[in-house]
Amino acid sequence: MSQAISKAKIHVERMMHRNSIAVAGESIASYALLKLIPAVGGGGASIGINMAMVLDVSGSMYEEDGTGKSRISRVQEAACSALNFLRPNDSIAIVAFANNAELVLPTTLVSQKDKIIDVIMRIDMFNVDAGGTSMDQGIELALSELQKSTGTGNISHLVVLTDGETSGEQLCKEYAKAAAEKKINFSVIGVGTEWNSGLIKDLASLSNGKWHYIDVNQVDSAQKVFASEFQSLAAVGFRDVQIHFRLMKDIKIRRVRMVVPEIKDLSLVEVEDRHSVAQLGTLEKDKTSRYILDLSLPKRPDGKFKLLDVEITFDTGSGVKESSGLIPIEMSYTAAGNGYINAEVAKHIDEVQIFELNKNLQNAISTGNTQEAVRVAQSIEKKGEVMGARAVKKTMLAKQVLAEINQGGKVSKKTQLAVDDAARAADE
């Protein structure tokens, strides 16, 4: 049964995969679904945005990819258009990078939109050597500028765009970790097919942020990505959101995944015995998010037992931590056999399973294990057919992988990126 707590500004619903379980051995795997639902007007006043954009201006950004427009011009147009989602008191700084990096626009209020647009449209005309890609230098400059304007009433956010491999990968990761500690999230965008998708995903994960892919063959892809990113930022009503898990004895959480609005693994940090925390970063005021807990439950006699307490902590922009209070998650045990399956939870478990298969497919392709790639792609195809309309795109891409392997023995980079991008889509 679904239950709701209505006192917090973020309502919490929770439900188990089954309404009851029977444990034949010493333990059994089970799943719980958490929904975080912002109350009406739950975030209070809008939280201000303190943003820095780090834009690649290397020579490869002039490629047109068959669209009739260079990558850089598509990004310029998209960034200028997306400014309309920000408010006059939000601020933005801009860094251009290639072989070196330059702060081309210090922190500027969005009310000076003409000035910001002028810099964006001249982004490749500053004193930056186009013959290389040093994203680490760009990120370092942007973080330094962001920290000058970080305050309790705003969120600091870094948007990084690149179309290539970069030097200083380890430095980039260290900056992302440091940013997370200072509550600065990253959104990392790859354009083209030559960027390092592994690094970009790592930076998003390390900073509790997001990553995006601009499809080189879709002329409006940049517009969609930038509009989605800026619109999402403008809707943030909660920052520094955390889920606390306080486990009863012998209960284990093996993994926590976000499943809506996208599928991704969350890192769990044990802060004390049987108390772990997952960092969520920011949440939008008007968007429900969902999380699947992968649990290991011990043998128990018949009856209802508390498995754990969940607590959501968050800041609505005042700088003061608020809490949902402790919310129990319970399970009924019965030796008579397992109870009925909750269809809503089962749907998300299906999506997580196909997500894991996609990760395995990516690994098989990247390591050149063609036999394993074929096996996993066939598994995705079968799973997708069972899931039906919710997995049409994933099924289609699995078939594309099999077709490319049959035709030429390898999978194109574009198909790899498309598979990776589609894997995290929760509901097609």
**Domains of the chain, first to last:** 3-44+237-341 (2.60.40.3670), 48-234 (3.40.50.410), 344-423 (no CATH)
Tens of pLDDT along the chain (428 residues) come to 444 443 458 999 999 999 999 998 999 999 999 999 988 555 456 789 999 999 999 999 999 887 788 999 999 999 999 999 999 999 999 999 999 999 999 999 999 999 999 999 999 999 999 988 999 999 999 999 999 988 777 899 999 999 988 999 999 999 999 999 998 989 999 998 888 888 999 999 999 899 999 987 788 899 999 999 999 999 999 999 999 999 999 999 999 999 999 999 999 999 999 999 999 999 998 899 999 999 999 999 999 999 999 999 999 888 889 999 999 999 999 999 899 999 999 999 999 999 999 989 989 998 999 999 999 999 999 999 889 888 898 999 999 999 999 998 899 988 998 888 888 877 64
Tokens of 365: 């392709």
- CA 329-315-212 angle, to 5 degrees, is 85
CB 361 within 8 A of CB 377: yes
pLDDT at 45: 60
Tokens of 127: 């004193």
- What is the gyration radius of the CA atoms in the chain, in angstroms? 23
Please state, in angstroms and rounded to a whole number, the distance separating the CA atoms of residues 361 and 375.
9
Provide the sign of the torsion angle of the four alpha carbons 346, 352, 356, 359, taken in this order.
positive
The secondary element (H helix, E strand) that includes residue 397 is helix 392-408
CB 164 within 8 A of CB 71: no
pLDDT at 1: 44
- 91-97, strands of its sheet edge to edge: 101-109, 91-97, 48-56, 154-162, 184-191, 210-214
For the chain, the distance separating the N- and C-terminal CA atoms, rounded to the nearest angstrom, is 26
Tokens of 204: 């998003």
Please state, in angstroms and rounded to a whole number, the distance separating the CA atoms of residues 320 and 132.
44
Q: Where are the alpha helices (DSSP H) in 83-121?
A: 113-121
This prediction has a pTM of 0.91
pLDDT at 402: 95
Q: Tell me if residue 249 falls in helix, strand or coil.
A: coil
pLDDT at 39: 81
pLDDT at 4: 45
Describe the crossing of helices 392-408 and 370-387 by its angle, rounded to 10 degrees.
Answer: 150
Q: Give percent helix, percent strand, percent coil of the chain, each to the nearest 5.
A: 35, 35, 30
